[in-house]
Chains A and B, each alone.
Chain A
Amino acid sequence: MAIELTDIIMDYPGTRALDRVSVAFRTDEVHGLIGENGAGKTTLVSILGGSRLPSEGRMTLDGEKVSLASPGEALARGIAHVSQEGSLVPSLTGAENILLGGEPRYPGGIVRRGALRDQARALLARWFPDLTIDLDQPVETLPYADQKIIEIVRALRGRIRILILDEPTATLPAREKERLWAIIRRLPAQGVGVVLISHFLSEIIALSDRITVLRDGRLIRTFPAAGATEGQLTSLMLQRGHGPSDGGAQDRRSEALGPPVVEVSDWNIPEARVSSFHIRAGEIVGLIGLTGSGHFAFARSLYDAPDLQGGTLRLGEETVPRIAAHEMRRRGVAFVPDHRMIHSLIGEWSARENLAMVHPEAGAYRAFGILSPRRESTEARAVMGRLSVKASSTEQVVGELSGGNKQKISIGKWLYGAKGRYRLMIFVEPTEGVDIGAKREIHDLLRGLAAEGTAILVASSDLIEIADLSTRVVSFVNGQALGDLAWPNFSEQSFIAAMSGARA
């Protein structure tokens, strides 16, 4: 028995999240699903679980064509989805959570408490007879693994044949994980196939019968898990197949670089520890790592670090006492974050207003900070021209622009009215969700800024981008910065090896 997805396409405004994905999930297997953030895993399982309808494509259940328009419909067809965030009511007991919404009742609607406990116990015993979990305690008092098991038992309440588990161990302490792993391994023997999403590759290899790798919305491969290695999976998740370009006329020799602009030592933030790090004038340093390895958090912490636990940052000759956005901006550090609509732009504002956010004084009369709409328009138009932003005018609302143009505005905020150059510019995912043309323009801009002597830090999950731009690359593994890779020894293979922990 199996559910088969054929040529699934999912289009969101401006991006294609899934591009002709075909895959079959069987009821007698644990099927590992892996890919970097944005590869399309979540979109695929939300289609499978009935939360979204695909733009195109077919789904068949045991050969019969089905269309799952809601999670309820998917449940009726035997497909249940246990999401990453957890869906238990913390203050209710395990038994109450298991039967939530399907409690046994007396006529008149009052819950039969005794029967509720018995039924919940029976359900738990039916699936996992050897487990002892106290179902009479509020679930918030139970170990995380037991909470997850309760969620799974609840999902198995109906006649379930496919169970989707989205990062089930993400919130679990290491010693509790094995308890859950044992549970997951047993389900196929009981007629329930598991679709397992996890960032932990060792877990995927240990638990899965087959593994499917997604990258950029495409299915890369489905293959048996036996014999797979973490290095092989990492490579499939990341490799984009064509080599780095030469980066145009960019001079990437280290002799061309100036003195260090920023120097960091004994840096300690919750997500990463870095004993020593620096960027020289004119240098573009690339940060790479798997999702959650701390490279994005580190990049950001050089501009805004409210939870800095230790370390010093020297900017030129000066040691910066406090790493806060307004301080660093004043000292000539720019920061272009990822997730631009959350971290950088105001969707309802015009391009002009967004651009003027960092240096509004450039569009103002000097006295009292009085804004001049005319000066603002002139300045905004200049920035939009420099970055070739495609918009109907400076007054177009930013939320209506395409991804590439939004990103240009997000970068342009730092060019608007910037009198001199910045000493240091930090970019996280500078071309996230950006079309090829805009991407090339943004890369050229970064090279140009470096050529003027700005120190540039780029953290990106796009390895080609890193290879194209960087003069030096630092790889992060589990919150640790590993040694540098120096230009021109860049290749996807060397990056991937560095990201999976092999010393460069």
Chain B
Amino acid sequence: MNTDASASVAMPRAGEAARQRKQLFLRYSTLVVLVLLFIGFSLGVDRFLTTSNLLNILQQISMLTIVAIGLTFGFAAREMDLSVGFMAGLAGLIAPTLLVAGWPLPAALAAGLGAGLAVGLVNALLVTIVGVPSLIATLAMGSILFGVNFLLSGGRAIYGGLPDSYLVLGQGRLFGVPVLAFIMFGAVLLAWFVMERTIVGRYIYAVGGNLKAAELSGIRGRRYRQLALVICSLFAATAGILLSARLGSGQPNAGQDYLLDGLATVFIGMTMFRPGTATIAGTFFGALFIGVINNGLNLIGLDTYIQSIVKGVIIIVAVAIVSRTTKLKLL
């Protein structure tokens, strides 16, 4: 039986075609803007369109992308994690501290990721068992982690004595391409596969799309909301470890920017592909969008303060587009 026989084509109603055109426009307009930005910077800024600068952009967005992927899992299940910035900071302190204390690399990495797992589990417990809305639970968790980070480090950076095998994660190159870029692409592909090609990913989207319908279909809603929050924390921890390897030190206040930048990334991504839904592909291009703008403005010589203003405007525009054209369901 072929498609045409089993599913006859309904006659499009008046306005249907116009609506579909609008959908199509919406789906790709952000990508078009990204391409235009890219062309604009290439023509207008001398050092923009060079191999080294483009690789530089990839390196700059790699950790942000990883945090934002974690947030994307949360958004897909309709849970917010506002503790990702400080979570990254925590993992980026734990791993270097243990390495300096002489722990072997795998153990130190595992400890950093284990912190992410633990925090994710606590978040999930608070949200799904205790019933604290994720927005509040993770905001509070962020505050707690901020304090923990300064207690652990005594407010000082941890550096010196970090093994090369650790530093290469953040600073090394393979065939001239930053190792960070490989890790980022690996994370993007893995996350895309899980979300788009596995039952687990489908269930996470289902729980975020209509929790009641998912549960009445026999999906254990609570379990997948928990999973999304744990994954979110794990990706934040990964980004934090990579950041400390990139900086060559553990900083108590590192990673803080990842919360706002990560949210901006996801919001931009939500304007693409499946408007109103956070997708991995959307998030990746969202990160690229932010990376290109930051890089371009940097090369022009604009202050970071200006960049902050631009970022704020972008978030507002992206969310405005999404919420005016779809049923945006953030919480």
Q: Is residue A228 contacting chain B, with contact meaning CB distance below 8 A? A: no
Once the chains bind, are A382 and B1 in contact (CB under 8 Å)?
yes
Residue in A345, A364, A370 whose CB lies within 8 Å of B210: A345
Once the chains bind, are A370 and B198 in contact (CB under 8 Å)?
yes
Once the chains bind, are B10 and A370 in contact (CB under 8 Å)?
no
Distance in Å from the Cβ of B209 to the closest Cβ of chain A? 4
Once the chains bind, are A381 and B7 in contact (CB under 8 Å)?
yes
- Mark each residue of chain B from 183 to 215: 1 if its CB lies under 8 Å from any CB of chain A, else 0: 000000000000011111011001001101111
Once the chains bind, are A369 and B199 in contact (CB under 8 Å)?
yes
Residue in B197, B210, B217, B327 whose CB lies within 8 Å of A325: B217
Counting chain B residues whose Cβ lies within 8 A of the other chain, the interface size class is: 20 to 34
Distance in Å from the Cβ of B73 to the closest Cβ of chain A? 16
Q: Is residue A329 contacting chain B, with contact meaning CB distance below 8 A? A: yes
Q: Is residue A193 contacting chain B, with contact meaning CB distance below 8 A? A: no
Once the chains bind, are A343 and B198 in contact (CB under 8 Å)?
no
Once the chains bind, are A369 and B210 in contact (CB under 8 Å)?
no
Once the chains bind, are B209 and A369 in contact (CB under 8 Å)?
no
Once the chains bind, are A413 and B217 in contact (CB under 8 Å)?
yes
Distance in Å from the Cβ of A399 to the closest Cβ of chain B? 10
Closest partner residue, chain B, to A344 (CB atom)? B213
Give chain B interface residues in 221-262, CB to chain A under 8 Å: none
Once the chains bind, are B3 and A326 in contact (CB under 8 Å)?
no
* Most chain B beta carbons < 10 A, residue from A343, A344, A357: A357
Q: Is residue B276 contacting chain A, with contact meaning CB distance below 8 A? A: yes
Distance in Å from the Cβ of A37 to the closest Cβ of chain B? 19
If the complex has contacts A330-B218, A343-B216, A345-B213, are A369 and B1 also in contact, measured as CB distance less than 8 A? no
Distance in Å from the Cβ of B131 to the closest Cβ of chain A? 14
Residues in B neighbouring A389, C-beta threshold 8 A: 6-7
Residue in B5, B6, B10, B218 whose CB lies within 8 Å of A329: B218
Residues in B neighbouring A436, C-beta threshold 8 A: none
Residues in A neighbouring B6, C-beta threshold 8 A: 381-382, 384-385, 388-389
Q: Is residue B17 contacting chain A, with contact meaning CB distance below 8 A? A: no
- Mark each residue of chain A from 396 to 411: 1 if its CB lies under 8 Å from any CB of chain B, else 0: 0000000000000000
Residues in A neighbouring B206, C-beta threshold 8 A: 346, 357
Residues in B neighbouring A369, C-beta threshold 8 A: 198-200
Q: Is residue B277 contacting chain A, with contact meaning CB distance below 8 A? A: yes
Q: Is residue A465 contacting chain B, with contact meaning CB distance below 8 A? A: no
Give chain A interface residues in 48-77, CB to chain B under 8 Å: none
Residue in B1, B219, B277 whose CB lies within 8 Å of A326: B219
Once the chains bind, are B202 and A392 in contact (CB under 8 Å)?
no
Residues in A neighbouring B9, C-beta threshold 8 A: 392
- How many residues of chain A get a CB closer than 8 Å to chain B's CBs? 40
Q: Is residue A494 contacting chain B, with contact meaning CB distance below 8 A? A: no
Q: Is residue A353 contacting chain B, with contact meaning CB distance below 8 A? A: yes
Distance in angstroms between the alpha carbons of A384 and B200 in the assembled complex: 24
Distance in angstroms between the alpha carbons of A360 and B219 in the assembled complex: 11
Residues in A neighbouring B202, C-beta threshold 8 A: 353, 356-357, 360, 371
Distance in Å from the Cβ of A330 to the closest Cβ of chain B? 7
Distance in Å from the Cβ of A229 to the closest Cβ of chain B? 39
Once the chains bind, are B216 and A392 in contact (CB under 8 Å)?
no
Q: Is residue B156 contacting chain A, with contact meaning CB distance below 8 A? A: no
Q: Is residue B47 contacting chain A, with contact meaning CB distance below 8 A? A: no
Residues in A neighbouring B21, C-beta threshold 8 A: none
Residues in B neighbouring A304, C-beta threshold 8 A: 215-216
Q: Is residue A307 contacting chain B, with contact meaning CB distance below 8 A? A: no
Closest partner residue, chain A, to B206 (CB atom)? A357
Give chain B interface residues in 1-47, CB to chain A under 8 Å: 1, 3, 5-10
Residues in A neighbouring B196, C-beta threshold 8 A: 371
Once the chains bind, are A394 and B197 in contact (CB under 8 Å)?
no
Q: Is residue B220 contacting chain A, with contact meaning CB distance below 8 A? A: yes
- Number of residue pairs spanning A and B whose beta carbons lie under 8 angstroms apart: 94
Distance in angstroms between the alpha carbons of A393 and B2 in the assembled complex: 11
Residues in A neighbouring B203, C-beta threshold 8 A: 360
Residues in A neighbouring B5, C-beta threshold 8 A: 385
Residue in B212, B216, B220 whose CB lies within 8 Å of A335: B216
Q: Is residue B311 contacting chain A, with contact meaning CB distance below 8 A? A: no
Residues in A neighbouring B214, C-beta threshold 8 A: 357
Once the chains bind, are A346 and B210 in contact (CB under 8 Å)?
yes
Give chain B interface residues in 294-331, CB to chain A under 8 Å: 326-327
Give chain A interface residues in 411-436, CB to chain B under 8 Å: 413
Q: Is residue A361 contacting chain B, with contact meaning CB distance below 8 A? A: yes
Once the chains bind, are A348 and B212 in contact (CB under 8 Å)?
no
If the complex has contacts A343-B212, A346-B210, A371-B202, are A384 and B7 also in contact, measured as CB distance less than 8 A? yes
Closest partner residue, chain A, to B220 (CB atom)? A326
If the complex has contacts A346-B213, A348-B276, A357-B219, are A391 and B1 also in contact, measured as CB distance less than 8 A? no
Residues in A neighbouring B326, C-beta threshold 8 A: 348
Residue in A330, A348, A358 whose CB lies within 8 Å of B209: A348
Once the chains bind, are A361 and B213 in contact (CB under 8 Å)?
no
Closest partner residue, chain B, to A360 (CB atom)? B199
Q: Is residue A337 contacting chain B, with contact meaning CB distance below 8 A? A: yes
Distance in Å from the Cβ of B313 to the closest Cβ of chain A? 28
Distance in angstroms between the alpha carbons of A349 and B274 in the assembled complex: 10
Distance in angstroms between the alpha carbons of A234 and B304 in the assembled complex: 72
Distance in angstroms between the alpha carbons of A269 and B265 in the assembled complex: 47
Residues in B neighbouring A384, C-beta threshold 8 A: 6-7
Distance in Å from the Cβ of A232 to the closest Cβ of chain B? 38
* Most chain B beta carbons < 10 A, residue from A303, A330, A381: A381
Closest partner residue, chain B, to A358 (CB atom)? B217
Once the chains bind, are A391 and B7 in contact (CB under 8 Å)?
yes
- Mark each residue of chain A from 317 to 351: 1 if its CB lies under 8 Å from any CB of chain B, else 0: 00000000110111000010100001111111100
Distance in Å from the Cβ of A396 to the closest Cβ of chain B? 8
* Most chain B beta carbons < 10 A, residue from A328, A356, A371, A393: A371
Once the chains bind, are B1 and A381 in contact (CB under 8 Å)?
yes
Q: Is residue A221 contacting chain B, with contact meaning CB distance below 8 A? A: no
Residue in A344, A349, A394 whose CB lies within 8 Å of B3: A394
Once the chains bind, are A390 and B8 in contact (CB under 8 Å)?
yes
Distance in angstroms between the alpha carbons of A303 and B219 in the assembled complex: 13
If the complex has contacts A353-B202, A356-B202, A391-B7, are A385 and B1 also in contact, measured as CB distance less than 8 A? yes
Residues in B neighbouring A345, C-beta threshold 8 A: 210, 213
Residues in B neighbouring A12, C-beta threshold 8 A: none
Distance in Å from the Cβ of A327 to the closest Cβ of chain B? 8
Once the chains bind, are A348 and B218 in contact (CB under 8 Å)?
no
Give chain A interface residues in 298-328, CB to chain B under 8 Å: 303-304, 325-326, 328
Closest partner residue, chain B, to A336 (CB atom)? B216
Distance in angstroms between the alpha carbons of A388 and B196 in the assembled complex: 28
Q: Is residue A368 contacting chain B, with contact meaning CB distance below 8 A? A: yes
Once the chains bind, are A385 and B220 in contact (CB under 8 Å)?
no
Once the chains bind, are A357 and B217 in contact (CB under 8 Å)?
yes
Residues in B neighbouring A343, C-beta threshold 8 A: 212-213, 216
Apart from the given pairs A329-B217, A345-B213, A382-B1, 10 other A-B contacts in the complex at a CB distance below 8 Å: A326-B220, A342-B213, A348-B274, A358-B217, A369-B198, A371-B197, A385-B5, A390-B8, A394-B3, A394-B7
Which A residues lie at the B interface, using CB under 8 A?
Answer: 303-304, 325-326, 328-330, 335, 337, 342-349, 353, 356-358, 360-361, 364, 368-371, 381-382, 384-385, 388-394, 413
List the 3 closest pairs (A to B, CB-CB), nearest first.
Answer: A329-B218, A385-B6, A369-B199
Q: List 18 A-B contacts (CB under 8 A).
A: A325-B215, A328-B218, A329-B218, A343-B213, A345-B210, A346-B209, A349-B209, A353-B202, A357-B202, A361-B199, A368-B198, A371-B197, A381-B1, A381-B3, A382-B1, A389-B7, A390-B8, A392-B10
Which B residues lie at the A interface, using CB under 8 A?
Answer: 1, 3, 5-10, 196-200, 202-203, 206, 209-210, 212-220, 274, 276-277, 326-327
